[in-house]
Amino acid sequence: MSGQDVAVHAPLARGTLSSGARELLKWIALLSMTGDHVAKVVFGGYVPVVSEFGRIAFPLFALVMACNLAQPGADLGKSIRRLSAWGLVAQPLHMLAFGYWLPLNILLTFGLAAAAVHALTNNRQLLLLVAGGLLPFFVDYQWAGVALVVLGWIAFRHRAWWLLAFGFGGLCWVNGNGWALLAIPLVLALARVPWAVPRSRWAFYLYYVGHLAVLAAYAQWLR
C-alpha cells in the first residue's frame, strides 16, 4: 500500500471521518435525496440514474450520523431532541408531498437510532426494546435503517468494520437492489478531506423541511 493510500484510510483506521468529509458527504447525500424525491413526486417515481443515485443518500446520512455520535463528548440527548422535533415538523409536509403518513420520514428514523445508541450507552434495555425493536416499524427504512446507524456507531467506536456488512445487507434487502453499496467507495474516497468544509448544523434541517414544502406544494397543485 502506498503512502497516499495510508493517508486516505488513516481516519477510518482511527475510527473516524474528518470533519470536512462528514460535511461534504452530508451535502452529497442531500443532493442524492433531493433527486430521488423529485423523481418520485414530479416524474412518477423513477428517473434513470437519478433514482439509482438516490439510493446512496440514506447510507451516507447514516454513516455520517454514526460517526458524529461516536465522537467523544457527543450529546446524544440533544441529537434525539433535535431530530425528533424537526422530524415532527417535517412529517405533515412529507405526507402532503408523498401522499402517505406511514412510514414516517427519515429524521424520525435517525431519532430512533440516536435513542437506541443512547440506550446501549446507558444500559437501558427497555428503551432499546422500544427504540430499536418496536417503533422502527413506523419509520422509513424500518429496522434496517436504525440498525445501520447503530452498527455504524459500534464500528466507528471499536473499528469493527465487518458489522457494516450486516447493516448494508439489510438496507439492500429493503431497497430490493444493491445501489446503496456505492456509498462505501465514496466514503473511503472522501474519508480524509484535507480542506475545511463549513459546518451548517441548522441548514440541513431547514433544507430538509424546505424541499418537502416545495414538493408538497407541487403535489397539491397537481391534485
Q: How confident is the model over 164-176, as pLDDT tens digits?
A: 999 999 999 999 9
Supply angle C-alpha 219, 207, 209, rounded to 5. 50
Enumerate residues 6+ apart whose C-beta is below 8 A from 129.
none
pLDDT-based confidence at residue 19 (cuts at 50, 70, 90) = confident
Q: How confident is the model over 190-208, as pLDDT tens digits?
A: 887 776 777 777 889 999 9
pLDDT of residue 155: 96
* Structural domain containing residue 137: 3-222
The pTM assigned to this predicted structure is 0.90
CA distance 35 to 29: 10
Domain count, the chain: 1
How is residue 105 written as a grid cell?
A: 420520514
Q: How confident is the model over 205-218, as pLDDT tens digits?
A: 999 999 999 999 99
Average pLDDT of the chain is 91
